[in-house]
Amino acid sequence: MIVVLTKGISTHDKEMVRIYLRDRGFNIREQSFGGDTILGAAGKTTIDLRELGLLPGVERVASTSKPYELASRETHGEDTIVTVGALPGVKIGGSRISVIAGPCAVESKEQIRETAARVRESGAVMLRGGAYKPRTSPYAFQGLGMEGLEYMKLAGEENGMPIVTEVVSPELAVQMKDLTDMFQIGARNMQNFELLKKVGSLGKPVLLKRGPSATIEEWLLSAEYLLAAGTKDVVLCERGIRTFETYTRNTLDISAIPVVKGLSHLPVIVDPSHAVGIRDKVSQAALAAVAAGADGLTVEVHPRPDTALSDGPQSLYPEQFEKLMRDIEALAPVVGKELLRTPRTLAPGTVQAVPGTALPRNAGAVPPIAYSGENSSYTEQALTRIFGEDAERLQVSGFSGVFDAVLDGSASAGVVPVENSLAGSVHENYDLFLRYPDIAIVGELKLRVVHCLIADPRAEIESIQVIRGHPQDFAQCKGFLDKHPGWILEPSNSSADAAASIVRDGAIRVAAIAGEAQAQGLKILREGIETNPLNYTRFVIISRRENGGRAPIPPSLGSDKPNKASLVFSVSDEPGSLFACLKTMSDRGINLSKLESRPIQGKPWEYLFYVDVSIPPEEGIFDQVIEELKTKARDFHFLGTYRASL
Ligand code: PEP
Ligand code: MN
C-alpha cells in the first residue's frame, strides 16, 4: 500500500501515521517520488484505507496494484543501488555494469586463488563460486562446504573482490554469514520460503536467481520475502528458464530484463553461463544482456574448464572472459552505462583515476569537473569513466564554457573531445587552446580497435613462430606479444598485407595481426589481442596551467610521469622549415603520434601543425627539444604533457 503525505506535513503528524501503520504490523519505507513524500507500507493485515486516509497529513492512500510492494517501483521510484562488501564496496545498479566472475564451484585453494587473480585482471569486481553445490545428481561433486568458503574468502581478500556464494539452508546461512559478502539464492531454492526469510533477516546483500520455471511475478514475490525479512539489498539474477527448447541448457529470457526493470527498482543482472550452458555461446548471450539493460553479469570462468568438477562445458577460459570484458567496455556507452572496473594495479591506499577505468568508489572529494553537453552525452560518459560516477560535475554551455570554468576556478578540470574516429579533429577545441594559453592538457581518454591473431586453417597457436603485422599493431598488441618472447616479428606495410601473405605462403608457422574482416579463409587463433582499447573519440582532460610551465596534474589523475605531449606551431614559409622542426624531434628519438595541418584563421595559406609526441623516459631530452623547437617554429604553443590513455 502507498500512503502519500501532504507537502509540508509536520514531523508529529508523520510520526503518528508511522505509529498507526506500525501498530498494525506494517513494515514502512519512506520515499520521495515525483516531489511527493510517500510511505510504502507492506504487511499481512488488511485495514480500512478510508480510516487511514482521514489521519492528519495523509493526502491519499492507494493499495498497490502489485502483490509485491517493497520490490515494486510503485513504492520506490529510484533505482536501488546495492553495495556489497566492506565500504566503499562494490556497487550494483545505476549507470554501471558490474561483472561477477569465478568458477562454478570452489575446487581447491589454488584453483579459486588462480581464478580470482585471472578474472580480477580482466576487470571483474566480485568473485563467485559455489561451496555448497545443489547438483541434479546426488553422485555429482557437492562442493567443499565451509572449507571451500574459507578458500574463497581468502582469494577474494587477496584480490580486493567481495565474494558471493550460494546458501542452501537456513542453518548454513547463519554459519556462512561472516565469511561471505553476499548470499546467492540458487534457482532451485527461489521459492524455499524458510530459506528466504532466514537469509533476508541476516541483512546481507542477496543475489536472487530466478527459478527455472518461475514467472516474473513469482520471482519478484520471492524478492519481496527477502525485503520483508529485513534486507534492503537484493539483486535479481535472470539465469534462463525452462522451455521446450533443448539445444541450450535453458532459455535466456532477455525480455525479462526490461520488464523487471519497469516493475521493480531492484538491480537486475544476468547469468549467461547457466542460461545457455554452452561455452561458445556464453559471450554472445552476455552481450545481449548488457544491450537489453542488465546492471551486470555473473559469469563462470575456470582456468582449465576441461578439468572442472562442475559446469566445465559452460565455463569460459580466462582469455575468453578477457575478450568479453573488452567487448562489454565497448558496448556499455551505447546503452548509457560504464563498465565498473577494478583498476589493474592500484597500490594500497592510493586514489588514482586511470583513464579508461573507473575510479574506486571512495575516491574522496573529487572537485567539480566541467563538461559541455547533455547528461549522458559521450562527454559526460567520458568524464564518468575518468573521474568516477560520484565525481562532482559542472555542466556548462559550449566548449568555451568548459575552458572558462577551468580558467576562473569554478571547475578544477574539464573534459573536452579533441578527435573522433569518424569525424577527425574537433578543431574548435584546438582553437580554444590557442585562445586560452593558461589552460593545458593533463590527461586523455581513448577507446579501442579489435585485433586478431590470424593464421592458416591448419595452424595452432603452438605451431606459430613468426608474426607479421603493421608495427603500429605490434605496439598495440605488445602485452600479448610479450607473453610469447620466442616469436619473431616481421613488419608489414599493413595488416591487410600481413594477412594476404599468410594466404600466399600457406605456412602454418606464420600468423598475422589483423582485423576479423581480414581473416577470410583463415583461422582466428585469438581475438581481441590488442593491449589498447578502440578509439571512437579521444577526450582530453584540461586544467589550469600554473607558473607558465607544465600543468600540474591533479592528484586524482595519478602521479605517473607524463609520456605524451601535445604541441601546436606554425613554421616560416621557406624550404625545410617544417622538416627542421620534425628533425629536431626525430634526432632525439621522439615519436610523433599525430601530425595534422590546419589553416590559420585570418591568414590565408598559412597553416598550424597539431602534433602529439611521446616523451622519452630519459630526463632532460624532452625539455631540450622543446627549447630548440621554440627557436625553429613560429607561434609555438605547448598544450601540455600527460599520460597516454591505455
Ligand atoms: C550457480 O550459480 O552456481 C548455480 C548453481 O546457478 P543456478 O542456481 O542458477 O542453477
Ligand atoms: Mn554452475
**CATH number assigned to the domain comprising residue 515:** 3.40.190.10
Residue 364, pLDDT score: 43
Peptide bond before residue 88 is cis, with ω within 30 degrees of 0: yes
Residue 127: is it exposed, middle or buried by C-beta count within 10 angstroms (0-12/13-18/19+)? buried
Same-domain pairing of 603 and 567? yes
Query: Does 539 participate in catalysis according to the annotation?
Result: yes
For residue 603, the cross-strand partners are 600
- Quick one: average pLDDT of 115-133? 96
Residues lining ligand 1, CB < 6 A? 104, 130, 166, 186-188, 209, 239, 271, 274
Query: Is residue 380 assigned to a domain?
Result: no
Q: Which residue in the block uniquely carries the three cell numbers 493485515?
A: 45
Which residues fall within 8 angstroms of residue 288, CB to CB, at 6 or more apart?
Answer: 252, 254
Report the range of poorest mean pLDDT among 115-119, 528-532, 549-553, 559-563: 549-553
> Which residues constitute the domain of residue 54?
2-62
Instruction: Show which of 339, 364, 393 is a domain's final residue.
Output: 339
pLDDT tens, position by position, 26-62: 888 887 655 678 888 877 677 888 899 999 999 988 7
Q: Residue 187 burial (CB < 10 Å; 0-12/13-18/19+)? A: buried
Mean pLDDT computed over 564-576: 90
Q: Which atom of ligand 1 approaches the CA of 130 most closely?
A: 3
Identify whether residues 19 and 151 lie together within a single domain.
no
Q: State yes or no: is 80 an active-site residue.
A: no
- Res 447 pLDDT > 70: no
Nearest CA to ligand 1 atom 10: 187
Same domain (yes/no): 321, 269: yes
Do 21 and 88 fall within a single domain?
no
In a domain, 643, yes or no: yes
The share of the chain scoring above pLDDT 90, in percent, equals 55
With 0-12 / 13-18 / 19 or more C-beta atoms within 10 angstroms meaning exposed / middle / buried, residue 596 is middle
Please indicate, yes or no, if residue 431 is contained in any of the structural domains.
Answer: no
The atom of ligand 1 lying closest to the CA of 189 is: 8
Residue 383: inside a domain, yes or no? no
Residue 111 amino acid letter: Q
Predicted local confidence at residue 224, as pLDDT: 94
Classify residue 425 by burial, with Cβ atoms within 10 Å: 0-12, 13-18, 19+.
Answer: middle
Closest ligand, as measured to the CA of 192? 1
What mean pLDDT is reported for the chain? 86
On whether residue 548 sits in a domain, the answer given is: no
Dist. CA 288–CA 272, nearest whole Å: 9
Q: Yes or no: say if 174 and 202 are a contact pair by the CB < 8 Å rule.
A: yes
In total, the chain counts a number of residues equal to 646
Residue 429 within any structural domain of the chain? no
The phi and psi torsions of 345 (rounded to 5 degrees) equal -130, 105
Q: Choose the residue to mutate in 274, 297, 301 for probing ligand 1, maximizing ligand atoms within 8 Å of C-beta.
A: 274
588 CA distance to ligand 1 centroid (A)?
A: 59
Which residue has cell 542452501? 168
Q: With respect to residue 17, please indicate whether it lies within any of the assigned structural domains.
A: yes
Sign of dihedral through CA atoms 322, 324, 328, 331? positive
CA–CA separation, 387 and 346 (whole Å): 15
Do 47 and 182 sit in the same domain of this protein? no
Query: Alpha-carbon distance 329 to 577, whole Å?
Result: 43
For residue 545, what pLDDT band results from cuts at 50, 70 and 90? Answer: confident
473 and 596 co-located in one domain: no
Number of domains forming the structure of the chain: 4
265 closest CA partner among 27, 78, 1? 78
For the chain, what percent of residues have pLDDT higher than 70?
A: 89
Residue with cell 604541441: 567
Q: Which residue has the higher pLDDT, 315 or 345?
A: 315
522 within domain boundaries: yes
CB contact at 8 A, 131 and 97? no
Query: Is residue 79 exposed (0-12), middle (13-18) or buried (19+ Cβ within 10 Å)?
Result: middle
DSSP designation for 534? B
Helix (H/G/I), strand (E/B), else coil: 160: coil
Q: Are residues 268 and 318 in the same domain?
A: yes
Helix, strand, or coil (residue 101)? strand
pLDDT tens digit sequence for 256-296: 999 999 999 999 999 999 999 999 999 999 999 999 999 99
Of 626, 636, 634, which is closest to residue 573 (Cα–Cα)? 634
